[in-house]
Amino acid sequence: MTNLVLQHISKLYGSHLVLQFDHWEINKGIYWLKGGNGTGKTTLFRVITGQTPFNGTVKLNNIDLRQDPMAFRSQISYAEAEPQYPLFITGKELLDFYGDTRKGTAAEAMELARLFELEAFLLQPIGSYSSGMLKKLSLVCAFIGDVDFYILDEPLITIDVASAHKLYELIKTKAAQGKSFLLSSHQQIDPEKLSIDGVFEIRDKQIVAC
């Protein structure tokens, strides 16, 4: 049962204040974070996943990111908007790496790769992948293993309609198993394809419900 709590948050890049708010909390569900370019969505995701220094407290299911980073990270999966991987490794090597670190099985990784029609490319270096293939590979990585909370930054960019449909179905299946999602998307999310439990926006450095 997901519970994500952020308290007394402030995030600066040098002297540029990007986020500042006292409290934001979500429970189990699928959430959509909207907002224009540069409002701080990716920064918020990087704060939640402990990938950038910040002031304040982040807790997932009562596990404090700072006090117990290993336990915290084992509960969370983050797919970046524009994933960057070493170009010389193959897709399979990347999936094996994620499988090892996330304690996922090779069969699970292959099943996800097959779902997104990446199977035939797995032995090729990532440098030869198209932008859509790269995005799908990053989504496959995000779904390897068993975590409680998924953060998907712009999961719909560059993927085709059929893949978007598969992603929606995967999110629904995981949500039915009790998992939670925080998605950012500039594209409208069709409520008939994916039912959203809450929509937020970053406005003036704060997270507000829409």
Ligand X SMILES: Nc1ncnc2c1ncn2[C@@H]1O[C@H](COP(=O)(O)OP(=O)(O)OP(=O)(O)O)[C@@H](O)[C@H]1O
Residue numbers at the binding site for ligand X (CB under 6 A): 13, 16, 18, 35, 37-43
Minimal distance, residue 41 CB to ligand X, in Å: 4
Minimal distance, residue 120 CB to ligand X, in Å: 31
Distances (CA, A) of 55 to 33, 42, 48, 65, 128: 21, 16, 12, 12, 40
Minimal distance, residue 36 CB to ligand X, in Å: 7
Minimal distance, residue 117 CB to ligand X, in Å: 27
- Which residue lies nearer to ligand X by CB, 35 or 145? 35
- Which residue lies nearer to ligand X by CB, 118 or 139? 139
- Which residue lies nearer to ligand X by CB, 38 or 127? 38
- Which residue lies nearer to ligand X by CB, 18 or 159? 18
